[in-house]
Structure 1
């Protein structure tokens, strides 16, 4: 049965640096159900999809129709679903600075979740190159999971990656839906960009049942902090990720090798797979967190 894996994520809370000042980085475990800074409930403002859902077909997805029976069928294809708001001068930053940061945030989401090299399990270098090199704490915390993935150090918190020896994409399209907003930051001369996107990733096995298609769904939530480089130690053209969160649906809850492992029809359920089914397409609420060690089922993919 397909599973949901609400991944614990690292939340990198950053005070951007005054020149020659010390860096303060606090990491804490969190979940997609958490609130963003200052009690801002990002999910509470999510636009609800009120259109009728497609009827569930008798036949499941196929290579020719990988999104058959899924609400994602009417979602945008890939990067087209990451639509940015119009930039404006905010928080003491000029419009051009905000505009560039919005574009860089979009590029990061694309590189981390849509780039073919990332999806086939390669090192997501294009995404890593967009992170501010001054944020060594975050870069080190991403290098470790990529080099030696484990339950504690899991690259899937940030990147959508499949084992190329196990599965391949079922076609070139990943469906995408979400939103980006921005607001003035707490500190003078700063802006916070909030990005919340769901990616629907269809795959098929490499060898066995190569025509059988399933979908893994990843919801990514980022808060990017943008600061004035004239005041703070930041690198123009790079992003400083203040928070990142993830909810993964239909991927193994017990394998921590740095890859998504979707469930196919006929696969044996994983140990501890129980609890109410969760709908990965509901974006109006944060959903509920499975109990620790629980591998909750998914109502659909």
Structure 2
């Protein structure tokens, strides 16, 4: 039942009486609840204002409402974040393009030239010596390869890349892969094993070699136990006297290549040509200079088919092995390398007096067989 009484019958131009705010609000509520009362005739301007106010309270205008996506849909937020991140990335790229040192200086080793990209693997003999690195800074203990072409060389065993095997000279692909792998094993054990570098016995390297090869293993073992001019272990193994020097860090830089060649039927040859760079400091010197010794080794190993040759299955023969040494004393045959430091004349051995050569020049052939060919180096 409506609380608003029906208006009396009126005629003429007499204006309709005004309706109170309370009556109008009551009518609107009943209408909203489904009431059947008739609406008041022509409400006053004040009534219309009240009605508008009630509508605003029940349904806020759209521009005041928060603009949210449906529940569980985060697309508008992602678009906003993506746009902001995109702007920040573009700004950062612009800054790095202008000043790349801002990024490089925050990478490991970024304050040194050693942060430069590692050179691609060597696939053929170079046509000349590498150029001088930018700047003329000396090596430090933190950056022992500074000022050297080896700064951009790969390091350690990973630098000795094994080429893809293929069947060759009557040997299967698996046989050839074995020969390549064992050649790498020998190079690593003889030149990178920390125990061997400290003067230890190179058992793993010797285990690669065939005991049936005449004289080789007995001669090598004699050189390790009683070195002299005719029995020098340095011709195949890299060894430093731990009482004299120690490594400047745990990295050895390496550059070179390994190739395959066919021998006689049942013989596959593996040619290896690698240069190793060893940074050293004096054994009991806390802050002295860094010396680098550079050794280049060229050797050919063969895997022979035991069905055709009198060999030990799974062992390699040594066809040749040559070495060159940069920055070590001459005429010292104690089984160790002796680096010369920038601030002294070495530990007492003779200083090099032969032709001046660049130990980083890998374009030259190597024909020497030991430290007896002791020349001067143009750089270390």
Output the TM-score relative to the length of structure 2: 0.63
Match of 1:105 among 183, 186, 189: 183
Match of 1:142 among 208, 217, 220: 220
Tell me, in whole angstroms, the C-alpha distance in 2 between the residues paired with 1:294 and 1:96. Answer: 39
1:68-125 deviation digits (Å, cap 9, x = unpaired): 0000000011111111111000011100000001000000000000000010111111
Aligned to 2:352: 273
Secondary structure of 1:297 counterpart: strand
Match of 2:173 among 95, 106, 109: 95
The answer (yes or no) to whether the contact 1:272–1:294 under 8 Å persists in 2 is: no
Q: How does 1:31-46 map to 2 (within 5 A)?
A: 46=125
1:150-207 deviation digits (Å, cap 9, x = unpaired): 111100000000001000111110000001111110x211111110000001111011
The answer (yes or no) to whether the contact 1:176–1:199 under 8 Å persists in 2 is: yes
Secondary structure of 2:356 counterpart: coil
Q: Bigger shift: 87-96 or 127-136?
A: 127-136
* Structure 2: stretches of 5+ with no match in the other structure: 1-123
Aligned: 1:166 with 2:166: no
Tell me, in whole angstroms, the C-alpha distance in 2 between the residues paired with 1:71 and 1:261. Answer: 22
Superposed CA RMSD: 2.1
Tell me, in whole angstroms, the C-alpha distance in 1 between the residues paired with 2:307 and 2:367. Answer: 42
1:19-68 deviation digits (Å, cap 9, x = unpaired): xxxxxxxxxxxxxxxxxxxxxxxxxx51347875312423x212110100
Aligned to 1:188: 265
Secondary structure of 1:193 counterpart: strand
Task: Say if 1:210 and 1:145 are closer, same or farther in 2 by CA, change over 3 A.
Answer: farther
Greater percentage in strand = 1
Largest Rg, 1 or 2: 2
Secondary structure of 2:280 counterpart: strand
Structure 1 residue ranges (4+ consecutive) displaced by more than 6 angstroms after TM superposition: none
Match of 2:300 among 223, 233, 256: 223
The answer (yes or no) to whether the contact 2:329–2:350 under 8 Å persists in 1 is: no
Greater percentage in helix = 2
Quote how far apart the aligned CAs of 1:242 are: 1.2
How many aligned positions are there? Answer: 253
Aligned: 1:300 with 2:365: no
* Structure 1: stretches of 5+ with no match in the other structure: 1-44
Task: Say if 1:107 and 1:233 are closer, same or farther in 2 by CA, change over 3 A.
Answer: same
Tell me, in whole angstroms, the C-alpha distance in 2 between the residues paired with 1:297 and 1:272. Answer: 8
Task: Say if 1:271 and 1:119 are closer, same or farther in 2 by CA, change over 3 A.
Answer: closer
Task: Say if 1:56 and 1:252 are closer, same or farther in 2 by CA, change over 3 A.
Answer: farther
Output the TM-score relative to the length of structure 1: 0.78
Aligned to 1:67: 145
Aligned to 1:206: 283
